[in-house]
Amino acid sequence: MAFSCTICGQVSTSICVSCTKDTCDDHLCILCKSCSDCCQHEVRLDERPDIRPTVRETLEQVTERVGE
Ligand SMILES: [Zn+2]
Ligand SMILES: [Zn+2]
Ligand SMILES: [Zn+2]
């Protein structure tokens, strides 16, 4: 029986521990087992640029500084 990721529609293999929605590997945080909507980490920003553009810009600035 296949379930679909509630975010992208791909076949899901896990559920979010926070909201229990079906979530695919791409949208399930390996650190907290939560979907992109519930995860507090900033490892999936590329997939949700519409949600957190400000945080993404900050992250890029930090990355630049680390590279110097
Ligand atoms: Zn997905
Ligand atoms: Zn969730
Ligand atoms: Zn997380």
Per-residue pLDDT 10s for the chain (68 aa) are 689 999 999 999 999 999 999 999 999 999 999 999 999 987 545 555 565 555 566 666 766 776 66
pLDDT in the model for residue 27 = 93
Question: Residue 17 belongs to what domain range?
Answer: 3-67
pLDDT in the model for residue 58 = 66
Cα torsion 48, 15, 10, 43: sign: positive
CA distance 33 to 28: 6
How much distance in Å is there from the Cα of 23 to the middle of ligand 1?
6
Count structural domains, the chain: 1
How much distance in Å is there from the Cα of 65 to the middle of ligand 1?
31
**Ligand 1 is an ion; residues with CB less than 5 A from it:** 5, 7-8, 10, 24, 26-27
